[in-house]
Amino acid sequence: MIQGKVWRFGDNIDTDLIIAARYLSSGDPNELKKHIFEDADPNFISKAQKGDIIVAGSNFGCGSSREHAPVAIRAFGIAAVIAESFARIFYRNAFNTGLLIYECADTGRIGEGDLIEIDEESGVIVNSAKKEEYRFKTIPPFMRELLAAGGLMEYAKKEMRL
């Protein structure tokens, strides 16, 4: 069970809004996390906390194929990203880097500041602020294995030991 405060973003949040290109000279997650959503909301990192949840509309993570975007979100400590849909490359990069993401058609009903719980077992998001529940697409088994390992590289390291 994951529980956290919601930070809202709209449709078509591209990777440049997640982590601006001017910071891509570093691949260090600890450096990248200092700048997430800086161009979308300059105060995001001073307001958000580890364990919070990002909720967005459709096509989250569109734009370039850089892995820096999910790496920065995960390094900051965001517990999960919930969106109506994800850009294909971001979707795969999220799992490759160990960032937990969920697709849910009802994200428009979740407001900024709402406290939500994500129950992976039941496939339900509970919004305690609005007393509502929303269903999300279950994560495919192999993707769950990647997440459990901490991402593709950690998964590969584990498999090589067999």
pLDDT in the model for residue 128: 93
- Burial of 17 per CB tally in 10 Å (0-12, 13-18, 19+): buried
Per cent of the chain over pLDDT 90 is: 91
Which CATH number do you get for residue 153? 3.20.19.10
> Which residues span the domain enclosing 51?
2-160
Q: What is the spatial distance between Cα 82 and Cα 105, in angstroms, rounded to a whole number?
A: 10
**152: pLDDT strictly greater than 60:** yes
Indicate the number of domains in the chain: 1
pLDDT in the model for residue 28: 94
Q: What is the DSSP string of 37-83?
A: TTTT-TTHHHH--TT-EEEE-SSBTBS---THHHHHHHHHT--EEEE
What does pTM read for this prediction?
0.94
Q: Please write the tens of the pLDDT for every residue from 57-114.
A: 999 999 988 899 999 999 999 999 999 999 999 999 999 999 999 999 999 999 999 9
Which residue type occupies 77? G
Residue where the block lists tokens 């998001």 = 125
